[in-house]
């Protein structure tokens, strides 16, 4: 049984209404957020109209504010926004959907005034507006707003989406729009995208690459801001209507040869049962001899080959891409497709390949990810001369993972970092190197055979012989 002092609803009820009221006044003193919440509850005791007035006043107040919102103030503002949003959804819209829709639209409209004066590196504020887009769709459906009127409001909002607050608006409004509203919205964006525009000044154009020493401008590839906004909107509408061809039609010709775009299109074609067209879209990409083909493209092609019944070709690609990059995702998928016992033989073959892979650090990463620490330990002991102690982001977790069962391999990894630090005179890393040496000392008693590596005492003696004058380091050790 909970103690009488435990904070729960039942124990608080025992205090009585008057005492609770006094406590709430005391707790809310000095807290504007708590006072607003209490006023909201009091308004709710009367009617949703009273709550609506309170929300409207608060939203107007937030919109008028000019104080800069630094990271310290973001949490409080986020809580305030969530209070207003949830009140609109859970109280006002339930009783009066039409009023709820007007309020949620007012909520979305204050985004610009907030982001113009905020520093929200966490992205928590934008989440409230994205959720409000979804809420707006639900409320619009409940309010029975005319689809064409709704489409016009959405069109106006998305035109001015400078901070991305309306990114989820079209998707959130699909059910409320229906096909009639989607068609009207599509017509608005098509007409808008075709209106004449002035070409931006050279200084205002964004360079995204170079070709034969000539700049490649973003607007030449993706179009200007209006074209890009309309294209994204029309793609969302095409998705909502299940029209893959309309989605593809919105992609500029140049982008169809971008691997991520091709993978995106192939996924939609595959979902529509058009595997042959999906493979054609993927194979527009020239991949021969390229090691930088994105994983998304590779996975899309594998799924497409499987859909076409070309499982052997998919398996060959999985193995080939594993050999190129040591990507464990491809190897796991390859092994999963094999019969029992065949997978064990293939795994042994794969591990042998990794052991001989030219880049020892890539091979280490593979074995640590798998995880196969026995193989990682063998790799490190065999190819210790190739280790780069500067790669501390790899070496440190490797040493930690290997320490318990493979102390010699862990010691070799730690020594690689110590040697790099002292050989290159990186005094900023001396404290880390001293800590690594201390760890080596702790591991030494657990190493039965050092093989070709010097024992710990011999290694320390060698360090003193080579770096005895680095007093900054030895002062941390001794």
**Residue 175 contacts residue 183 (beta carbons within 8 Å):** no
The sign one gets for the Cα dihedral 263, 264, 269, 273 is positive
Which residue has better confidence, 253 or 414?
A: 414
The DSSP code sequence of 261-294 is: HHHHHHHHHHHTT-HHHHHHHHTTS--TT-S---
- Average pLDDT over every residue of 445-466: 95
The CA distance from 264 to 317, in Å, is 19
State both tokens at 280.
């054609």
Output the average pLDDT for the chain.
Answer: 90
Better pLDDT: 281 or 30: 281
What number is the average pLDDT over the span 337-344?
93
What span, in angstroms and rounded, lies between the C-alpha atoms of 89 and 94?
7
Which pLDDT score is estimated for 225?
80
Question: How far is Cα 468 from Cα 380, in angstroms, rounded to an integer?
Answer: 27
- For residue 428, pLDDT over 50 is answered with yes
Measured between alpha carbons, how far is 165 from 161 in angstroms, rounded to an integer? Answer: 6
Q: How high is the pLDDT of residue 47? A: 59
Q: Helices (DSSP H) in 144-194: which residue ranges?
A: 147-159, 169-193
The share of the chain scoring above pLDDT 70, in percent, equals 86
Q: How sure is the predictor about 85, in pLDDT bands with cuts at 50, 70 and 90?
A: very high
N-term to C-term CA, the chain: 57
Is residue 83 over pLDDT 60? yes
Residue 424 banded pLDDT, cuts 50, 70, 90: very high
pLDDT band at 80 (very low <50, low <70, confident <90, very high): very high
pLDDT at 421 over 70: yes
Can you give the pLDDT at residue 1?
A: 45
Q: Are 416 and 389 in contact (CB under 8 A)?
A: yes
Confidence of residue 217 (pLDDT cuts 50, 70, 90): low
Contact predicate 169/155, CB 8 Å? no
Q: Is the dihedral of CA 411, 414, 418, 420 positive or negative?
A: positive
The predicted pLDDT at position 285 comes to: 87
The burial class, CB within 10 Å (0-12 / 13-18 / 19+), for 307 is middle
The arithmetic mean of pLDDT across residues 206-232, rounded, is 66
Confidence (pLDDT) at 212: 56
Mean pLDDT over 94-98 rounds to 94
Write down the pTM of the prediction: 0.76
Residue 227: predicted pLDDT: 87
Residue 206 has pLDDT above 80, yes or no: no
Residue 37 pLDDT exceeds 80: no
Residue burial 139-153, b: 16+ Cβ < 10 Å; e: rest: bbbbbebebbebbeb
What is the Cα–Cα distance from 353 to 259, expressed in whole angstroms? 28
DSSP 385-423: GG--TT-HHHHHHHHHHHTTT-HHHHHHHHHHHHHHHHH
CA atoms within 13 A on the CB side of 21: 5
- Please tell me the predicted confidence (pLDDT) of residue 134: 97
């Amino acid at each position: 049984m909970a103690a009488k002092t435990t904070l729960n609803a039942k124990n608080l009820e025992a205090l009585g209404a008057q005492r609770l009221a006094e406590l709430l006044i005391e707790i809310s003193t000095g807290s504007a957020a708590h006072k607003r919440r209490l006023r909201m509850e009091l308004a709710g005791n009367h009617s949703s109209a009273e709550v609506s007035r309170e929300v409207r006043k608060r939203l107007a107040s937030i919109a008028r504010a000019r104080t800069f919102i630094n990271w310290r103030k973001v949490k409080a503002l986020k809580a305030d926004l969530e209070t207003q949003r949830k009140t609109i959804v859970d109280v006002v819209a339930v009783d009066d959907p039409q009023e709820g829709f007007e309020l949620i639209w007012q909520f979305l409209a204050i985004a610009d005034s907030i982001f113009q004066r905020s520093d929200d590196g966490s992205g928590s504020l934008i989440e409230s507006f994205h959720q409000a887009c979804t809420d707006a769709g639900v409320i619009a459906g409940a309010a029975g707003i005319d689809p064409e009127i709704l489409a016009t409001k959405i069109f106006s909002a998305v035109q001015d989406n400078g901070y991305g607050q309306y990114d989820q608006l079209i998707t959130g409004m699909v059910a409320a729009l229906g096909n009639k509203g989607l068609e009207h919205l599509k017509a608005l964006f098509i007409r808008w995208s075709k209106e004449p525009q002035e070409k931006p000044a050279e200084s205002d154009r964004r360079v995204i690459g170079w070709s034969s020493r000539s700049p490649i401008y973003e607007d030449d590839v993706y179009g200007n801001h209006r074209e890009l906004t309309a294209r994204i909107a029309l793609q969302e509408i095409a998705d909502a209507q299940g029209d893959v061809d309309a989605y593809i039609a919105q992609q500029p010709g140049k982008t169809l040869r971008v691997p991520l775009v091709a993978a995106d299109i192939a996924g939609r074609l595959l979902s529509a049962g058009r595997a042959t067209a999906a493979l054609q879209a993927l194979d527009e990409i020239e991949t021969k001899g390229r090691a930088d083909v994105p994983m998304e493209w590779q996975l899309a092609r594998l799924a497409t080959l499987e859909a076409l019944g070309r499982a052997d070709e998919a398996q060959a690609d999985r193995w080939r891409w594993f050999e190129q990059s040591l990507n464990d995702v491809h190897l796991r998928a390859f092994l999963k497709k094999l019969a029992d016992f065949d997978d064990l033989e293939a795994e042994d073959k794969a591990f042998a390949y990794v052991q001989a892979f030219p880049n020892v650090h890539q091979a280490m990463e593979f074995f640590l990810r798998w995880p196969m620490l026995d193989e990682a330990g063998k790799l490190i002991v065999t190819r210790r001369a190739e280790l780069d102690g500067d790669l501390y982001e790899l070496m440190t977790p490797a040493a930690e993972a290997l320490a318990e069962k493979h102390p010699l391999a862990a010691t070799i990894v730690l020594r690689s970092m110590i040697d790099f630090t002292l050989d290159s005179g990186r005094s900023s890393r001396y404290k880390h190197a001293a800590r690594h040496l201390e760890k080596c000392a702790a591991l030494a008693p657990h190493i039965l055979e050092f093989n070709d590596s010097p024992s710990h005492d011999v290694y320390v003696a060698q360090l003193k012989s080579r770096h005895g004058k680095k007093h900054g380091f030895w002062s941390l050790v001794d």
